[in-house]
């Protein structure tokens, strides 16, 4: 296919910022030569200033050690673990660390804010849950320790990354934080008529916006919402926070409600915002949201309103079409003579008609609406990234044992005319998990400026190091070039501690630091006095602690 922006074009935009590069890749060229309002963080959407990260390490072998192992010459600093104090108010770092986004302070690559997701709680927080019912304190912890942390991190004079606990920005966002709803479900009967809701939890992956805020995705929210007696329809959305402004808290209902894994933002050729999203369930769909209005870099955070008004599409892979998910389309489909409830959906035709009366109903029951309209059920779509080099879209289909996709694959979508706003596309299987590739169950993705994908794996703890999963050993971090002679070849960069998955890889703008979460080490522990992992192996500590590390040692020459 024709490439609108190759590496050379990319390099010619160095220093002009994310908006310029996005505009260039969208074929507009409007901002050529002008400095962007966006800071370096948003550059992660579209590439990096340096261009030498991958290809400079010796791949490691799989390992089942209870350690975070890296190639020769690299090291990691533990920045924060579960229950660490993060600020002078005594707030604590949450559990189940997942997505990370680094925001430089004053353009620095060695001091900034780190926004981290906290996906779920674990046995080391709760201890025994008697008769399956949480006590008042357990319930409080369940809501407190999920959500997000904003921490201030810095590299000291010896190059060691640390938390700055005196930070004025450091704070928690959790199950007790109030969010304002935006979009079609706001105030609708689908959410009980409310315009704001209590809390966020089950925050899995996310993404940064072109205006330097963070989108964080509520994935498996049912258990916590049910335990806390909170309405299910208030969760399963994409939230937006501003790391530098604690008062900015939104849930964008136009982006749909499902088991949200991630967001990947880009620009259509005409300047509209496009957000790609996965629904991490077996036989669930891939979505993209396209705003009605156009991005204007000069408007900064006010661009957030673009996420309240637009069209949500679902991918029909058989036809190569993005299908608009609207109340009109759903009503028409259900009303057609001979309509049958699609496989995987519950309810009679009459029940479906009653469920869908407004666009608020459609976004709230998004998966059902998508299947009614012909959205293709896929194999657990998790993270998605848009290539900064050619606008192709990479999707991790983690796995799906319902029909034999045991090791998963990475799907690559080619939008028609390289336009993220297109309604038609083609696709290929870019890389397949399995013995032949050395990885299984791809989950989170991040691009480096070489155009290589950094891919973490999520083999479930119950399968790791057994049977057909034995050769992969612990979950890993792999680098896969998307062009050149090693295109599609996975090289292992890291091996995680026992029973963890590594999540949330995110480079500092200079690519000298890679932030990474270590989630659920020791997940298979049944006897709390005898945990299966003790990572990070703190002196005297008797439990494993999920957390975030900063990896350094990248040779940029």
Rounded-to-integer distance, Cα 446 and Cα 44, Å: 9
Distance, in Å, from the CA atom of 190 to the CA atom of 439, rounded to the nearest integer, reads 41
Comparing CA positions, the residue from 274, 260, 514, 237 lying closest to residue 386 is 274
Q: Would you call 543 helix, strand, or coil by DSSP? A: coil
Q: Where are the beta strands (DSSP E) in 237-363?
A: 238-242, 245-252, 264-267, 272-278, 282-284, 286-294, 310-316, 321-324
Binding segment for Ca ion among 74-82, 381-389, 420-428, 508-516 (CB under 5 A)?
381-389
d(CA 227, CA 220) in angstroms, rounded, equals 13
Regarding 84 and contact with Ca ion (CB under 5 A), the answer is no
Distance CA 404, CA 34 (A): 51
Piece of 133-141, 291-299, 325-333, 455-463 that binds Ca ion (CB under 5 A): 455-463
Place of tokens 């299947």: 371
Interface with ligand FEO, residue 368, by CB under 6 A: no
Member of 142, 368, 458, 499 binding Ca ion (CB under 5 A): 458
Closest to Ca ion by CB, 117 vs 364, is 117
Q: Which residues contact 227 (CB under 8 A, 6 or more apart)?
A: 134, 139, 142
HSE-CB for 212 with a 13 A CA cutoff:
26
> Between residues 119 and 390, which has the closer beta carbon with respect to ligand FEO?
119
| Nearer of residues 219 and 242 to ligand FEO, judged by Cβ | 219
Q: What angle do CA 295, 300, 305 make, to 5 degrees?
A: 60
Structure tokens at 487: 């295109």
377 or 505: CB nearest Ca ion: 505
Min CB(458)–ligand FEO separation in Å: 7
State the minimum distance, in angstroms, from the CB of residue 503 to Ca ion. 6
**Minimum distance from residue 259 beta carbon to ligand FEO (Å):** 7
Does residue 279 interact with Ca ion by CB under 5 A?
no
Alpha carbon distance 5, 507 (integer Å)? 22
Output 119 or 361, the one with its CB closest to ligand FEO: 119
Q: Is the dihedral of CA 109, 110, 113, 117 positive or negative?
A: positive
Nearer to Ca ion, 141 or 475 (CB): 475
Rounded to a whole number of angstroms, the minimum distance from the CB of residue 261 to ligand FEO is 5
Three-class DSSP labels, 376-404: CCEECEEEEEECCCCCCEEEEECCEHHHC
**Closer to Ca ion by Cβ: residue 359 or 457:** 457
Q: In what order do the strands lie in the sheet with 310-316?
A: 264-267, 272-278, 286-294, 310-316, 321-324
Q: Which of 152, 415, 443, 448 binds Ca ion (CB under 5 A)?
A: 443
d(CA 491, CA 481): 9
Chain residues 237-296 in contact with ligand FEO, contact rule CB under 6 A: 261, 280
Binding of ligand FEO by 379 (CB under 6 A): no
Cβ distance to ligand FEO smaller for residue 188 or 259? 259
The DSSP 8-state label assigned to residue 146 in this structure reads S
**Considering the complex, what minimum distance in angstroms separates the CB of residue 478 from Ca ion?**
14
Residue 84 as a binder of ligand FEO (CB under 6 A): the answer is no
Closest contact distance (angstroms) between CB of 165 and ligand FEO is 28
**Does 77 participate in binding ligand FEO (rule CB under 6 A)?**
no
Q: Nearest approach, Cβ of 350 to ligand FEO (angstroms)?
A: 34
Task: Out of 383, 390, 448, 523, name the contact with Ca ion by CB under 5 A.
Answer: 383
Q: Say which residue the tokens 């995110």 belong to.
A: 506
Minimum CB distance to Ca ion smaller for 382 or for 390: 382
User: Is residue 242 a contact partner of residue 213, using CB atoms and an 8 Å limit?
Assistant: yes
Shortest reach from residue 373's CB to Ca ion, in Å: 26
Contact segment (CB under 5 A) with Ca ion among 74-82, 152-160, 232-240, 374-382 equals 374-382
Half-sphere exposure of 186 toward its Cβ, with a 13 Å CA cutoff? 17
Name the residue nearer to Ca ion (CB basis): 183 or 256.
Answer: 256
| Binding site partner of 383, from Ca ion, ligand FEO, none, Cβ cut-off 5-8 A by kind | Ca ion
Residue from 43, 119, 152, 511 touching ligand FEO (CB under 6 A): that is 119
Q: Tell me how far CA of residue 434 lies from CA of 409, 431, 440, 471, 474, in angstroms.
A: 9, 10, 6, 10, 14
- Cβ proximity to Ca ion: between 181 and 445 the closer is 445
Question: CA 325 to CA 256: how far, in whole Å?
Answer: 10
Spatial CA neighbour of 205 closest among 191, 215, 192, 190:
215
Using CB under 6 A as the binding rule, whether residue 204 contacts ligand FEO is answered as yes
Q: Which does 218 bind (CB under 5 to 8 A by kind): ligand FEO, Ca ion, none?
A: none
CB of 222 to ligand FEO, least distance (A): 13
Residues binding ligand FEO: what is the number (CB under 6 A)? 6
Distances (CA, A) of 79 to 171, 209, 547: 15, 24, 8
With binding defined as CB under 5 A, does residue 321 bind Ca ion?
A: no
Minimum distance between the CB of residue 119 and ligand FEO, rounded to whole angstroms? 5
* Residue 66 engages ligand FEO in binding (rule: CB under 6 A): no
* Shortest Cβ 221–ligand FEO spacing (Å): 11
Smallest distance from ligand FEO to CB 501, Å: 8
C-beta closer to ligand FEO: residue 261 or 511: 261
By CB under 6 A, name the binding residues for ligand FEO: 119, 204, 219, 261, 280, 382
By CB under 5 A, name the binding residues for Ca ion: 382-383, 443, 445, 458
């Amino acid at each position: 296919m024709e490439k609108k922006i190759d590496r050379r074009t990319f390099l010619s935009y160095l220093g002009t910022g994310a908006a310029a590069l996005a505009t260039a890749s969208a074929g507009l060229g409007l901002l050529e030569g002008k400095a962007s309002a966006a800071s370096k963080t948003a550059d992660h959407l579209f590439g990096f200033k340096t261009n030498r990260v991958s290809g400079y390490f010796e791949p490691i072998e799989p390992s089942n050690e209870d350690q975070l192992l890296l190639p020769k010459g690299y090291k990691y600093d533990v920045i924060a673990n579960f229950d660490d104090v993060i600020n002078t108010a005594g707030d604590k770092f949450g559990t189940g660390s997942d997505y990370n986004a680094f925001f430089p302070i004053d353009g620095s690559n060695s001091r900034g804010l780190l926004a981290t997701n906290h996906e779920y709680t674990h046995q080391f927080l709760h201890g025994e849950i008697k008769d399956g019912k949480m006590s008042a304190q357990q319930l409080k912890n369940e809501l407190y320790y999920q959500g997000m942390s904003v921490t201030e991190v810095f590299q000291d004079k010896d190059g060691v990354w640390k938390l700055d606990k005196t930070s004025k920005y450091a704070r928690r966002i959790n199950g007790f934080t109030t969010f304002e709803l935006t979009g079609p479900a706001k105030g609708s009967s689908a959410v009980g008529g409310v315009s704001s809701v209590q809390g966020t939890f089950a925050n899995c992956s996310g993404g940064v916006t072109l205006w330097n805020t963070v989108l964080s995705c509520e994935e498996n929210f049912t258990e916590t919402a049910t335990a806390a007696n909170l309405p299910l329809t208030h969760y399963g959305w994409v939230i937006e926070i501003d790391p530098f402004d604690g008062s900015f808290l939104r849930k964008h209902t136009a982006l749909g409600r499902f088991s949200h894994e991630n967001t990947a933002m880009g620009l259509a050729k005409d300047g509209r915002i496009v957000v790609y999203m996965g629904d991490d369930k077996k036989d669930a769909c891939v979505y993209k949201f396209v705003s009605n209005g156009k991005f204007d870099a000069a408007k900064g955070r006010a661009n957030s309103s673009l996420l309240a008004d637009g069209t949500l599409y679902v991918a029909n892979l058989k036809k190569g079409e993005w299908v608009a998910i609207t109340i009109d389309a759903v009503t028409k489909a259900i009303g057609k003579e001979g309509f049958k409830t699609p496989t995987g959906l519950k309810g009679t035709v009459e029940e479906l008609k009653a469920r869908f009366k407004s666009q608020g109903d459609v976004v709230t029951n998004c998966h059902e609406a998508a299947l009614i309209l012909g959205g293709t059920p896929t194999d657990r779509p998790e993270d998605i990234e848009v290539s900064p080099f050619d606008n192709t879209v990479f999707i991790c289909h983690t796995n799906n044992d319902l029909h034999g996709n045991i090791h998963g694959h990475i799907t690559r979508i080619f939008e028609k005319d390289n336009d993220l706003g297109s309604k038609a596309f083609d696709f290929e299987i870019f890389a397949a998990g399995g013995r032949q590739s050395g990885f299984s169950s791809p989950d989170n993705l991040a691009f480096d400026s070489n155009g290589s994908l950094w891919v973490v794996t999520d083999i479930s703890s119950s399968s790791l190091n057994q049977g057909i999963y034995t050769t992969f050993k612990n979950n890993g971090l792999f680098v896969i070039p998307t062009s050149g002679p090693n295109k599609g070849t996975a090289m292992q960069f890291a091996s995680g501690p026992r029973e963890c998955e590594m999540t949330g890889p995110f480079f500092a703008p200079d690519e000298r630091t890679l932030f990474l979460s270590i989630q659920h080490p020791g997940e298979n522990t049944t006897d709390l006095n005898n945990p299966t992992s003790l990572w990070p192996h703190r002196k005297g500590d008797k439990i494993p602690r999920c957390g975030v590390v900063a990896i350094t040692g990248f040779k940029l020459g």
